[in-house]
Amino acid sequence: MKKDVLVMNVGSSSVKYSFFRNGKIIGKDNFERVFTKKQRLDVVRKVAEKVDISGLACVAHRVVHGGSITGARKVDKALLSRLRRVAELAPLHDIPEIEVIEFFMKLKVPQVAVFDTAFHQDMPLKAKAYGLPYKYYLKGIRKYGFHGISHEYVSRGLKGKVITCHLGNGCSVTAIRNGKSVDTSMGFTPLEGLVMSTRSGSLDPSVIPYMVKHEKVSLERISDMLNKESGLLGVSGKSYDLRDLMNSKDKRCLLAAEMFFYSVTKQIGGFAAALNGVDTIVFTAGIGENNASVRKNILSYLAYLGVKVDGAKNKKNSRVISSRNSKVKVMVIRTDEEKAIALQALQAMRK
């Protein structure tokens, strides 16, 4: 059986690819400033020539929003039309990805779609539904959750009650019981939940009509502000990068950092309650993997759970950073979303 997998990750302004042979990455590239469909397809054509598509088991696509789809799926016409319907929930990413799927479809290459939402789709209804009139749940207005590829990858093989913290540009926390996501902090879109680099995270929905009325701004403008000008950047007014904020003496910078730790802690605490305990807490992604001081600040709130951190191991970003007598195991696990996509795609091809 062919085993090469081309992983495509297409956004509104970039095309990333990685190329796997026997589960090992042997090539990758990241093209920035790719804005139009024509530019996108020109890049993809070059990628297709470079990797020799005749040897591919499949092209695997990272699709951010898969609606209620669970697992990775082989692409056929029916799936494609379902993706087109769901794409309006995450247009900036999913529409460019669909254009690339259509390109490879013409070349008759087998394709698999792997979803950021899929891991969370079996969450119980009480976690998925919002406290809105139920007809809206039936119309699809509910929690979908994101970063599922990463949460699933870093929790593989961990038994019992696990809380995974994906802290990168976007940040989310997931509650996992025996390998299944039972709740997650992001919601209908990736805006819900934690304070993030430039996203506000959760707030009282009444803020929005109030701002429309009193600040005289459009809904579109508010949506931009909540996604791109809020969070660490918005509170500090200086930077979205926790390293800058924690090194600063500026009060608002320090406040932004403190709000970040506090929001992650509250989410972990909430999920520890939801799971009725926690065996393992995992940190991953850019901030979670690399910043010991951030982890220390977050974990300092969790002593009541019996969390004890081994300072030296934490500083070294060791795989296990809790001390031997900690009631909860705390781990740092590198996420590898591209590899996870390739693995999920090969599995789907075998089905």
The one catalytic residue among 4, 94, 116, 183? 116
**Could you tell me which of 80, 114, 110, 85 has the C-alpha nearest to residue 10?**
114
Q: For the chain, how big is the Rg over CA atoms in Å?
A: 21
Residue nearest ligand ADP (C-beta atom): 286
Cβ 155 vs Cβ 283: under 8 Å: no
* Minimum distance from residue 240 beta carbon to ligand ADP (Å): 6
Choices 112-120, 166-174, 251-259, 322-330 (CB under 6 A): range interacting with ligand ADP: 166-174
Catalytic site includes residue 116: yes
Which is closer to ligand ADP, CB of 175 or CB of 294?
A: 294
Which is closer to ligand ADP, CB of 177 or CB of 243?
A: 243
**Could you tell me which of 114, 113, 178, 184 has the C-alpha nearest to residue 144?**
184
Which is closer to ligand ADP, CB of 51 or CB of 191?
A: 191
| Dihedral of the alpha carbons of 67, 177, 324, 257, in degrees to the nearest 10 | 30
* Minimum distance from residue 203 beta carbon to ligand ADP (Å): 21
Which is closer to ligand ADP, CB of 285 or CB of 349?
A: 285
Which is closer to ligand ADP, CB of 277 or CB of 311?
A: 311
Among 121, 155, 197, 200, binds ligand ADP (CB under 6 A): 197
Choices 63-71, 116-124, 281-289, 315-323 (CB under 6 A): range interacting with ligand ADP: 281-289
Q: Are strands 4-10 and 14-21 parallel, antiparallel or unpaired?
A: antiparallel
Tokens of 240: 């979205």
Among 66, 67, 96, 168, binds ligand ADP (CB under 6 A): 168
On the CB side of 271, CA atoms within 13 Å amount to: 26
DSSP secondary structure string, 117-175?
SGGGTTS-HHHH--SS-HHHHHTT-S-----HHHHHHHHTT--SEEEEEEESSSEEEEE
Cβ 351 vs Cβ 70: under 8 Å: no
Sheet holding 161-167, edge to edge: 180-184, 171-177, 161-167, 280-284, 329-332
Cα angle 213, 211, 147 (rounded to 5 degrees) comes to 140
Cβ neighbors of 336 (< 8 A, separation 6 or more) are 153
Choices 5-13, 118-126, 280-288, 340-348 (CB under 6 A): range interacting with ligand ADP: 280-288
Q: How many residues bind ligand ADP (CB under 6 A)?
A: 12
Which is closer to ligand ADP, CB of 15 or CB of 75?
A: 15
x/- map, 214-253, ligand ADP, by CB under 6 A: ---------------------------xxx----------
Binding to ligand ADP (CB under 6 A) within 170-189 occurs at 170
* Minimum distance from residue 169 beta carbon to ligand ADP (Å): 4
CA distances from 151 to 69, 87, 171, 172, 198 (A): 17, 22, 11, 9, 21
x/- map, 93-132, ligand ADP, by CB under 6 A: ----------------------------------------
Binding to ligand ADP (CB under 6 A) within 285-344 occurs at 285-287, 290-291
* Minimum distance from residue 72 beta carbon to ligand ADP (Å): 19
Paired residues of 18 in beta bridges: 7, 28
* Minimum distance from residue 109 beta carbon to ligand ADP (Å): 26
Among 13, 68, 169, 318, binds ligand ADP (CB under 6 A): 169
What one-character DSSP code corresponds to residue 309?
B
270 counts as binding ligand ADP under rule CB under 6 A = no
Number of helical (H) and strand (E) elements in the chain, helices listed first: 15, 11
Interface ranges with ligand ADP (CB under 6 A): 168-170, 197, 241-243, 285-287, 290-291
As annotated, the active-site residues are: 116
